[in-house]
Amino acid sequence: MVIKFLKRSFFQRLLGLSATTKPGIDGCWNYADGKLTISLDKVLELNTPGGAIRFEGKNLPKRVLVVCTEDGEYRAFHNRCTHLGHRRLDPVPGTDTVQCCSLNKSTYDSGGNKIFGPAPHPITLYPVKKEQGNLIISVN
Closer Cβ to ligand FES, 43 or 123, answer by number: 123
- Minimum distance from residue 128 beta carbon to ligand FES (Å): 23
Radius of gyration of the chain, Cα coordinates, nearest whole angstrom: 14
Residue pair 129/121 in contact (Cβ under 8 Å)? The answer is: no
- Minimum distance from residue 136 beta carbon to ligand FES (Å): 28
Closer Cβ to ligand FES, 95 or 106, answer by number: 106
Closer Cβ to ligand FES, 97 or 102, answer by number: 102
- Minimum distance from residue 81 beta carbon to ligand FES (Å): 3
- Minimum distance from residue 18 beta carbon to ligand FES (Å): 11
Which residues are at the interface with ligand FES (CB under 6 A)? 81, 83-87, 100, 102, 104, 106, 117-119
